[in-house]
Amino acid sequence: MLKNITGSIALAMLTASGASSAQGQEQHDNYRHLFMAGGGLELCSSFRSNQCDDADWIDNETMRTDRYIDLSSKSLEKVTSDRYWSAYRKDAQEEVKDALQLIHERINEDRMSERVFEREFTRRATLPTYNMLSDAEYAKIIDLLEVTMSSDLPEVVDVDESLNKKSAEIYRRFIEFTRQNVEAGEQPLVYFSTAGDRDPYAKIDFYRSTFEQLGADARWLPLDSAVVKARAENRCEELNEIQQEVQGAYDRDRVYRDYYQQQVAFCKAGDTEYEMLNDADALFLTGSEQDLIRNTFVQDDNSATDLLRMIVARVQQKKLLVGGTSAGTTVMTSKPVISNGTTASAITDGGVATNPPPYGCDLDNTCPQNTGPDTLTYHPFGGLGLFHFASLDTHFSERGRHGRLMRLAADSSTPLSIGIDENTAMLTNLEKGSFDIIGERGVFFVENAQGTPNAVASTFHYLVSGASGMISPFGLQTAEFAEGENIVQAEPTTNYLTDRGFIDSMRVLCGERTEMTLLNKEYRLVAQLDDSSRTASAGGECQIINGKLGIAHQPEEAL
């Protein structure tokens, strides 16, 4: 019952952490070992013209502007063949065949952009088929129908023309911090890893173009979980088959011929990644699937690979900056790694220490035992071990992930957990625990979380861009609030299960109120301030130190 949880929020179960707001924190080392972004970073590029202030610079003749789909009879026969569909999905296979033929008849062309294809697939006649497919099945269809990419038409980024100025700022700051590790005037060498992406080649041009434009020597690190498996089984020549098994990626050898051959050569060479990262000034981990990143750098027995040990050592020696976004941030921790789940499911069902279920696994019957598409799953033995202070979560407030992070912290007895909002980054010094927050939104700290079968509660802190402070593995030690007057331009919501409802509603606590309650479906949220709490407004948001938060599932009959 939340009634009981709420009452205990102010009692011993949720005692204040002792964190204090500091007007001027002690001088500390300005070096930053880790650069952790919360995802949602968008830049203007030839492939994403909708993210551009001005798109006149985009040249269709020399730049990649879209992904194209081939609906010729040969391609349709291939994508609907028995080779790619299991027997128990025979009905879906036949539905897809009919839907693709109908789309082809409507457009009356063999080739179309992916945007047009998706628009046509989601029209009324074929929408039921679209909705019956899992994410993995739809991605498979796109992969098999995708037209071969020309390496002469790369995706090109224009950072300065980006509508999202905060994303541009975060990428600029990352490259600025890579210069910590180089002599004045030298160009930093940055390797970026796409190991977390289902398709390891789709974002190569984007990141290379971004980092090069910002002044770095940017190079792709071809190591991923498929290469690890191929080397272990002496199957580098069969890398495309292993990509299907490990990443759920199809026909990448046909679509990205040059990048595929580059990765096969890298696979055969063996151990060249040591030389690459030994020379690097920074490593950037892209997002998508933290599981795929973890499997690249962590062995089956949960021990670090020799390469990961080298990375950790170079980070500690202040020779290598590691940055990441989305899953690339989440996986950095040495604490339990969250890999899936919604707040609603986490509150009612708790967490499961297992591999994450595939997206839409309920549609194609691929959910692991005791899990569903919304189940909170996590790796209890941690991730890459770079960030030893807390468990991490990303896309945080925008997806209403406060409850799921609190549940993970409670179930795993993790003293401190941290959630980073989109378009926001947290820069951390690992020696002293000092940090800075930059970007658009804020960072949420969960301390001393506890739970019952249907509720969670904790002490929390929320700081926004411009704030700084110091953390230990047990909580926030000091904090300096951000200052600012710019009002956040966003439509407020009260939906805290899947959106920013809690953070938006929390603004009332920077006024005269000391308690607020929100109801969503069968869930109740209560936030409180007490004598140890401190608040400050900045940028239209309410910053809080030592707040108390409880979320519970309360069916109607219990209200």
> Which residues have a catalytic role annotated?
326, 395, 422
d(CA 38, CA 40): 7
544, with CB counted inside 10 A (0-12, 13-18, 19+), is: buried
The residue length of the chain stands at 559
DSSP state for residue 10 in the 8-state scheme: T
Q: Are 129 and 141 in contact (CB under 8 A)?
A: no
Amino acid at 24: G
Rg of the chain over all Cα atoms, to the nearest angstrom: 24
Helix ranges (H only) for 280-433 are 290-297, 306-316, 327-330, 343-349, 361-364, 402-412
For residue 473 the two structure tokens come to 């593995």
Q: What is the 3-state secondary structure (H, E, C) of 13-42?
A: HHCCCCCEECCCCCCCCCCCCEEEECCCCC
Cα dihedral 377, 380, 381, 382 in deg (nearest 10): 60
Question: Tokens 């026969």 identify what position?
Answer: 77
Q: How many CB atoms lie within 10 A of CB 54?
A: 12
Q: How many CB atoms lie within 10 A of CB 12?
A: 6
Helix ranges (H only) for 495-542 are 501-505
Q: Select from 509, 421, 418, 510 the least CA-distant residue to 469.
A: 418
d(CA 54, CA 56): 6
d(CA 289, CA 193): 12
Q: Are 343 and 498 in contact (CB under 8 A)?
A: yes
List, in order, residues 6 or more apart from 377 with CB less than 8 Å away: 338, 339, 340, 341, 351, 352, 353, 354, 355, 356, 357, 371
Could you tell me the sign of the dihedral formed by the alpha carbons of 342, 344, 346, 349, in that order?
A: negative
d(CA 141, CA 143): 5
Q: Which helix (H) or strand (E) holds 239?
A: helix 239-247
Q: Are 198 and 139 in contact (CB under 8 A)?
A: yes
d(CA 218, CA 283): 10
Long-range contacts, stretch 484-490, CB < 8 angstroms, 24+ apart: 484/538, 484/539, 485/539, 486/539, 486/540, 487/539, 487/540, 488/539, 488/540, 488/541
